[in-house]
Structure 1
Amino acid sequence: MASGDISVEVRGKVAIVSMDRGENRLNLKFLADLNAALDKVLSNPDVQAVVTTGVGKFYSNGIDLDWLLPQGLDVQRQFLDKFGETKMRILTFPIPTIAAINGHCIAGGCLLAICHDYRVMRSKRGWLSMPEIHIKLRFDPAMVALLKRRLPDGDVQRDLLLFGRRFPGEECARRGVVDAVCEVEELVDQAVRMANKCVGKDGFDRPMMKAMKEDVYKEVMEVYEKETKSGRDLVRDRRPQAKL
């Protein structure tokens, strides 16, 4: 099954969503196709876990700013709402989720990966990074809530968020940002093994899994809902003049 160049393959109890769109930059078309792929995953009652991965050098290089910034406020708001909705969907997905990070995982792409239950990253090549400090974009409150909830500790948050450090796979594993690293040739197989180990023999009840995740991540979801209803210009508001 395929949705453009975002395809779905099923291996036993595990679905694999492969994103094959170059740098996998995030725009409305990409998010629509990704959500369509997730719909296909859930339409199969035999699937008990899902793996997402990229193809080539990138898991995702973040938001397609070349497309987004020239858009009018209505389209920008539509995109940011859909991006937030997609992150919350993955965060509370009714089956276990594993991000198989095949290469660079930057900014918005990092946020998508962070929303997964587990992460496995290729060794030796590829960075995980939140470079907003370098491009002078502040994190909005919803991003802060998500990142503080999902990143392991204050030191990681300092290095990754405040100073925009790039973490290779080995450092991500050592510092608890990902659960494992392996050679890229073994990446998807490793993610599938993690998925099968997680679901065990019987898997999980989908409605219960979703409800449990919504309970655990309630505070994060509330911040996202508040931001969605605020009507703020979340593009311009990320570039305020700091008071020194």
Structure 2
Amino acid sequence: MTPTLTHHEDIAVLTLGSDENRFSPDRLDAINAHLDEVEQSAKGLVTVGSGKFYSNGLDLDWLMANSDRLDWYVGRIHELFSRVLTFSLPTAAAVNGHAFGGGAMLAMAHDYRVMRDDRGYFCFPEVDINIPFTPGMAALIQAKTTPQTAMTAMSTGHRYPGAEAKEAGLVDATAAEAEIVTAALGRLQPILGKDRTTLGAIKSTMFASVTEALGRGPGGVSL
């Protein structure tokens, strides 16, 4: 299943897919095309997966088959993170299932995160699969968590279930599977209608150091 876009009144709901929702180039193209539409048609954005996964992040099979395009591919991932991080509308990730690696980073790029309370893990497994964080990825995670949570999450590969992810501050709330999108919508509804130029400028200022790091690409890291 490719990404799809629906609307709940003024809020766009972008469903990333129904498989592991890894970031293949085609999926990145589809996500960005939908974000173009959201910027023109909505006042807020919720992203969600379908089934067991929110997103498993980087498409490692594609990357291994196209290792000569590492810089290009990581640059595209970084561009998506930067775009969501500084999106000119309020954003919330409805983490319906597993969010691993780049999938967890995409969730972190949103303004708010709501996670399913009974299944799924929020995890940065890079230390266990021998893939170092790029400087931009590290900056993104550290900008959205406390130093101690960042240290534990990034250096141990700990798998956080919903309640523990909330306690650690990785997500803002938990909800039952059937209520996850509703809960994410509820996070945004009270704050819709802000001037989007101003909101985008505020986010760009808040996260200038992160977007600068993301803009530098892999930074010498070999995945």
Q: TM-score, normalised by structure 2?
A: 0.95
Of 34, 56, 59, the residue aligned with 1:61 is 56
Paired residue type of 2:149: V
Matched, 1:80 2:74: yes
- Report the 3-state secondary structure (helix = DSSP H, G, I; strand = E; otherwise coil) of the residue aligned with 2:160: strand
Q: What is the aligned partner in structure 1 of residue 28 from structure 2?
A: 31
Q: Is the 8 A contact 2:104 2:123 kept in 1?
A: yes
Q: Is the 8 A contact 2:46 2:93 kept in 1?
A: yes
Correspondence 1:1-244 to 2 at 5 A:
5-44=2-41, 47-73=42-68, 75-151=69-145, 153-199=146-192, 203-227=193-217, 232=220, 234=221, 236=222, 238=223
Number of aligned residue pairs: 223
Displacement of 1:154 after TM fit? 2.2
* Residue identity (%): 35
Displacement of 1:112 after TM fit? 0.4
- Report the 3-state secondary structure (helix = DSSP H, G, I; strand = E; otherwise coil) of the residue aligned with 1:51: strand
Displacement of 1:86 after TM fit? 0.6
- Report the 3-state secondary structure (helix = DSSP H, G, I; strand = E; otherwise coil) of the residue aligned with 2:110: coil
Displacement of 1:198 after TM fit? 2.5
- Report the 3-state secondary structure (helix = DSSP H, G, I; strand = E; otherwise coil) of the residue aligned with 1:227: coil
Q: TM-score, normalised by structure 1?
A: 0.87
- Report the 3-state secondary structure (helix = DSSP H, G, I; strand = E; otherwise coil) of the residue aligned with 1:212: helix
Q: 2:88, 2:119 → 1: CA distance?
A: 32
Deviation by residue 1:185-207 (Cα, 9 ceiling, x = unmatched): 011111111110222xxx11111
Q: 1:18, 1:222 → 2: CA distance?
A: 28
- Report the 3-state secondary structure (helix = DSSP H, G, I; strand = E; otherwise coil) of the residue aligned with 1:207: helix
Q: 2:157, 2:67 → 1: CA distance?
A: 29
Displacement of 1:58 after TM fit? 0.2
Q: 1:106, 1:72 → 2: CA distance?
A: 21
Q: 2:36, 2:114 → 1: CA distance?
A: 23
Q: Which runs of 5+ in 1 are unaligned?
A: 239-244
Q: Which runs of 5+ in 2 are unaligned?
A: none
Displacement of 1:28 after TM fit? 0.8
Deviation by residue 1:166-223 (Cα, 9 ceiling, x = unmatched): 0000111112111110100011111111110222xxx111111111111100111111
Q: Is the 8 A contact 2:74 2:217 kept in 1?
A: no
Q: 2:181, 2:215 → 1: CA distance?
A: 33
- Across the aligned residues of Structure 1 and Structure 2, the Cα RMSD in angstroms comes to 1.4
Q: 1:72, 1:133 → 2: CA distance?
A: 20
